[in-house]
A = this chain, B = another copy of it.
Amino acid sequence: MKIQLGPTDIFFPVPAALVVTGSMEKPNIITVAWIGMMASSPPVIAVSLKNSRYSLELIKSTKQFSVNIPSAEQFKETDYCGLVSGRDRDKFSDTNFTPIAGQKINTPIIEQCPFNLECRVIKEEIELGQWMVIFGEVVETHIDEAKIDLPSKDIDIATVNPLVYLLPFVNIGSLTRK
């Protein structure tokens, strides 16, 4: 028996990705669940941000961003970066995350996150109400050496232990429309 909830944005599993914007001198972090790989050759990733976000201003200005996948152990830092604005706080300082220089872009990646993508914004973008979907071509990929399984040389996903956002915070009672 299925229950209908009406139109919702409930979706899972998704990453709780840390998107870094700005420069080495003044970088910012935002936590993003509305993100997805959208093409392979070249690889292109879509990131959706509300129009009011400081991170969107920075992306529009620099045309670059990095995507950093935290380990499950970093859930507190990841939660924090989704709760406060970079207009008010230095989230690298607050979380003790370390910005390290990208190889292909001027925006840093997060040293403590096991997996990182450097992205350059492409010209396509789509406005969806209050949200802006930005597309970034992936120009570099980083993985922590310690997260590589030997001798297979595959990424050892159990060691990476990526944080998975499962969005269970939905009270059906308040959403049911029929």
Contact = CB atoms under 8 A, between A and B. Distances in A.
Interface of A: 1-15, 33-46, 48, 67, 69, 100, 103, 109, 111, 115-117, 124, 126, 128-131, 133, 135, 137-146, 148, 152-157, 162, 164, 166-173
Chain copies in the assembled complex = 2
A1 to B, nearest CB: 4
A109 B2 CA distance: 11
Given A11-B45, A164-B13, A140 B172 contact: no
A100 B2 CA distance: 11
Given A3-B148, A13-B14, A40 B131 contact: yes
A37 B9 contact: yes
Contacts of A157: 12, 166-168
A41 B126 contact: no
B48 A39 contact: yes
Contacts of A9: 37, 39-41, 43, 138
